[in-house]
Amino acid sequence: MAAASSTKKLMLAASPNKPRLSSKLVPPATIRGPPRRRKTKRFAVLATFITSKPTVLVAEKLGEAGLDLLKNFANVDCSYNLSPEELCTKISLCDALIVRSGTKVTREVFESSAGRLKVVGRAGVGIDNVDLSAATEHGCLVVNAPTANTIAAAEHGIALLTAMARKIAQADASVKAGKWQRNKYVGVSLVGKTLAVMGFGKVGTEVARRAKGLGMNVIAHDPYAQADRARAIGVELVSFEEAISTADFISLHMPLTPATSKMFNDEAFFKMKKGVRIVNVARGGVVDEEALVRALDSGIISQAALDVFTEEPPAKDSKLVLHENVTVTPHLGASTTEAQEGVAIEIAEAVIGALKGELAATAVNAPMVPAEVISELAPFVTLAEKLGGLAVQLVAGGSGVKSVKVSYASARGPDDLDTRLLRAMITKGIIEPISSVFVNLVNADFIAKQRGLRITEERIVLDGSPENPLEFIQVQIANVESKFGSAISDIGDIRVEGRVKDGKPHLTKVGSFGVDVSLEGSIILCRQVDQPGIIGKVGSLLGDNNVNVNFMSVGRIAPQKQAVMTIGVDEEPSREVLKKIGETPAIEEFVFLKL
């Protein structure tokens, strides 16, 4: 990307190979479609309009209602059962990818997309099949559909619990095999037994509620859950040890993460009450499956009911699957008609929103900024990007930027001002003019860190009304030389400061000089000895060469001393014109900056 580019950029939606028209804030999307089970709260970010329809690859079966929404907005390619190689080939032609649990979205997928893939939609909850670090590094948003299948998963958990307790699957197979073994299939009762819910999130809570209805004593373990929320439904939160050592039944509902991987292993099984029964509708990977077979064989665990497996589908000769005390289903937790319709709508809306440049409430790898915050900060977001872009263009050479300090002057308390969006946009403004990377809210912090760019933030607390979120933003770049010496502040940093006036971003300070120019088009900064006639000379020079001046201001230290003239221009002056400006007597230095 050329230095000092004036191209307007977007946060999420732009694809490098698509023409862009403009970048602006839009209100939250209203998408009409079939009745929704749940009203999705939406959070908007910057949007861009792209002239051609985006392409969405749907790699696993998705409910019709969701597909219809997608088809109204994008070209939809439904290609199921792709091999990893086929997925990598196709992805370079897609702006969005929608998957369920059966597709591994690996680093290779993001690399193969060569920057085009802007959003991955996981039509469900668990995102353990998506390489989130790779997505973030590539600036690709990942969204999921976290609520629409909660009840389905909880109901499946209860179905497995009761079916296991009464050996329904085994008895069914026996009758179908022509047998009538009433004494063999004697079950156990649930009432009065203790169920330990491991992971008291959405699904775990619903399982707990239903188990209470069955007369069970329910305890739960979840290091991050609130005890009063559990108590409200008659559930006691206990330690991991207490949960597994006292329960008659254990139901797993935590996500698969590096911390939960194989947490149910030999050691854990050894601590369990002899004869305990286990249900897993979470993820196979939270259980050490070989250890589970050993625990089943030794009788520590008398039965298991499993919907999920480390490898799906499991091997045909899997000892675990074939174990006579194990009941299995092929990852059906979310598979009800209702849940699949809800999930499809939820993910389609999130993906469409993200492609429009909005940020869905279900973003997994980006800060969620509430719509009201975004709308309030909108003009400051533009200001932040432009100040970042201006500051970096003032650096001589451009590549040595390592330390940036951003100061936000506001009458608001620190908790009332969310600066993540502003920081991301300043990062974007600084990095994009000097590199070819695409920076957005998803990858801004990562890219800054990767490039060794340290951004520190400071609050300048002002008196006055907190109605206005910010008075001004100041960007300082330390330890660099400037191609415009007057941009160096009294402490030796490059400093630019801006405010929002009448809803528009303005540059109000350069170095120690007060200026006032609307941040549109391009600007010329000149330092001159303050004397009559200079403004006229430069103005006529530009006018004579068909360069329209849209704004001009002069900030001086004292009358007849040094002054900085800021000229806003609509067109880029030719080299000759810029040279002539430099040769104007009394002009000591000048710089042309693109916004």
Ligand X SMILES: NC(=O)C1=CN([C@@H]2O[C@H](COP(=O)(O)OP(=O)(O)OC[C@H]3O[C@@H](n4cnc5c(N)ncnc54)[C@H](O)[C@@H]3O)[C@@H](O)[C@H]2O)C=CC1
283 catalytically annotated: yes
Considering only 54, 66, 126, 357, the residue that binds ligand HPV (CB under 6 A) is 126
CA 359 to chain CA centroid, Å, is 8
What residue ranges in 425-471 does DSSP mark as E strands?
454-461
* Residue 589: burial class (beta carbons within 10 Å; 0-12, 13-18, 19+): middle
Q: Is 153 in the site for ligand X (CB under 6 A)?
A: yes
210: CB partners within 8 A, 6+ apart = 154, 155, 158
Q: Which of these is catalytic: 64, 236, 311, 312?
A: 312
Return phi, psi of residue 303, to 5°: -150, 155
Residue numbers 272-331 binding ligand X by CB under 6 A: 281-283, 307-308, 331
Annotated catalytic residue within 331, 499, 506, 527: 331
One-letter amino acid for residue 229 of the chain: R
Candidates 123-131, 297-305, 400-408, 533-541; binding stretch for ligand HPV (CB under 6 A):
123-131
Beta strands in 441-487 (DSSP E): 454-461, 472-478
Identify the H or E element spanning 144.
strand 141-144
Output 251 or 482, the one with its CB closest to ligand X. 251
User: What is the largest distance, in Å, between two alpha-carbon atoms of the chain?
Assistant: 110
CB burial of residue 512 (10 Å; 0-12, 13-18, 19+): middle
# residues contacting ligand HPV (CB under 6 A): 12
Binding mask 147-176 for ligand HPV (x = CB under 6 A): --x---------------------------
- Quick one: which segment of 75-83, 119-127, 156-164, 399-407 binds ligand HPV (CB under 6 A)? 119-127
- For ligand HPV, the binding residues in 324-383 under the rule CB under 6 A are 331, 333-335
Interacting positions 202-231 with ligand X (CB under 6 A) = 202-204, 221-225
Give SS3 for 248: coil
Task: Choose among ligand X, ligand HPV, none what residue 223 binds, the Cβ cut-off being 5 to 8 Å by kind.
Answer: ligand X
Q: Which does 222 bind (CB under 5 to 8 A by kind): ligand HPV, ligand X, none?
A: ligand X
Structure tokens at 24: 């602006």
Please give the structure tokens belonging to residue 402. Answer: 């390592």
Look at residues 227, 192, 198, 228 and name the one whose alpha carbon lies nearest to residue 212.
Answer: 192
The smaller minimum CB distance to ligand X, of residues 364 and 595, is found at 364
Find where tokens 């007849």 sit.
560
Considering the rule CB under 6 A, would residue 125 count as an interface residue with ligand HPV? Answer: yes
* 339 contact, one of ligand X, ligand HPV, none, CB 5-8 Å limit per kind: none
Cβ-based nearer residue to ligand X, 267 or 544: 267
Q: Report the residue number, 254 or 593, with the smaller CB distance to ligand X.
A: 254
Q: Is 331 a catalytic residue?
A: yes
Contact 581, 548 (CB under 8 A): no
Q: What is the DSSP letter of 291?
A: H
Stretch that binds ligand HPV, among 95-103, 321-329, 364-372, 492-500 (CB under 6 A): 95-103
Applying CB under 6 A, which of residues 15, 40, 48, 101 lies at the interface with ligand HPV?
A: 101
Is the Cα torsion angle 442, 450, 409, 565 positive or negative in sign?
Answer: negative
Contact 296, 325 (CB under 8 A): yes
Backbone φ, ψ for residue 114 (5° rounding): 50, 40
Least Å distance between CB 247 and ligand HPV? 23
Residues at the contact surface with ligand HPV, assessed by CB under 6 A: 100-102, 123-126, 149, 331, 333-335
List of residues contacting ligand X (CB under 6 A): 125-126, 146, 149-150, 153, 198-204, 221-225, 253-256, 259-260, 281-283, 307-308, 331, 333-334
Known catalytic residues? 283, 312, 331
